Structure 1
Amino acid sequence: MGWRYHYEAASVLRDIFSSMKNRLMLVKHRFNLTAEGVHIQQRLTGCEVLGDGQPAVIMFTDSSDGQDADSRMYNMMHFTNASGDRWEIQWSTMKRMHFQMLYSNIYLPFCVRTLYHLVDYEKRQVAHRVRPRVCFITKPVMGGAQVTCLATDFYPRHINLTPLNNRPVHDSELTGGLVLPNGNGFYQVRTKMMVGDEELKKKHNYTCTASHLSLDNRLEVS
């Protein structure tokens, strides 16, 4: 999203932070919280697009020192304020109009745009396909060799990777196989098997085979 969106996001966050700071000061004054120590103001906020021509809804709930203070829900049809058990908030007509304008023109449109942006991002992530890079590694060890199939930089995470020895290798002969994050948004996995000296003398052709959503056919590296 463009610089206008990021500028608006910064403005909204600054306004929310200022509002929460002022609310905590009001709570401390209301309940005479003069003791030293840390006081915590929390806010849970979000929006919901109802669809079928119904208006979007935005809401928030404030909490002071772990106790509900007040909550607000707004859509284009009604605006409600629900006070917590600890205190009541008196709203003047001017203050109510101020919040209605704030929510109608800034908070609600911004939240809905953000929600659609995140939904679109998740859809693109679900449809994203990246082919694995597969390599075959052999390492001499006592009594034979360790054969490793390695697949890196693939997405999504589900993959079937196995070494073949002129035949499918049984799971009991394999170690590893756990899919891990690659540190760059993609994934990696490796499977290992031991090949004894007697098997090495037969000079079988070993193959790494990978099946993945990004591949039309199986990928094989011999």
Structure 2
Amino acid sequence: MLDDIVIGHYNADERSFIPVTVQESVNVTEQITISTVFKGIHEDMKTKAYYLIDYLNYTRGLHVQQRLVGCELLRDEPGRMMTLEAFNGESGFERRYNVQGDQHTDWKWPVIKSRAQLEYDAWLYAHFYRPLCISQLRTYLKKEQKRVMAKVKPRVRVIKRYCREAGVVQMTCLATGFYPRHINLTLLQDGQPVNEERITGGELLPNPDGTYQMRKSVELGAEEQRERHTYTCTVTHLSLDNKLDISIEPGPDPVIVVPSVLLLLCVFGFLAAFKIWRKRYSQPEQVHIHSLFH
């Protein structure tokens, strides 16, 4: 993936890297190299998975091993590279290679390789995997620059729901349709961020068109509603020149109450109007009929 754009996938049956889009000119040597790297990663993950099943005393069945490898460019200069691994949802290995060339490795699982193998892995990581990752990042960044650099402003709206039984008002701030994915959505009370323990939501979710959405909600009890605090939904995003602030009225929506006397007058007025209408449209017919008999 390039940021959040899928570039391709590894087909384990064919043992080859399959790009998402058909490229006009394919560097065969480069594709073979990438496929070889993926093959090595796949085989290594399978070996480690079988070892961890036995070491952690898991029964045979469905297990999940994950490996995340990534590198970054900072203003076209090589940045960090990292590898994170987890098995059945529990992290067990981490390796980071920073800009200065320092390498940090953290093992939570037992080391199953010899010292010579570990030293070779560290050398391979620094002198082969990292340069290859950076070169591929530059290549795809050039090809997909328009998509990666696109900026779409978020559409922000406030949703307010009142639960009459509990006397609670739920205020929700929704930002949707934005790209890239990085956004800062904050609910403020009297200019200060609402305690995160009171916030529900906040997950970044994808939209079908490739954009993203996020919503955050907070519930206000009857006492907080009476105190008349000021609430604000504030949004910052790369597509916005300035932060976007939307004020929220904490109270429930106004309810129109009709006095009982006025309601009775309306009922009587309707009945009187109905009688007049009935008399007007029924009487002329009787008169007309009698006139015919005369």
Q: Provide TM-score, normalisation by structure 2.
A: 0.38
Structure 1 or 2: more strand by fraction = 1
Q: Provide TM-score, normalisation by structure 1.
A: 0.49
Q: Which has the higher contact order (CA 8 A, sep 6+)?
A: 1
Greater Rg, structure 1 or structure 2? 2
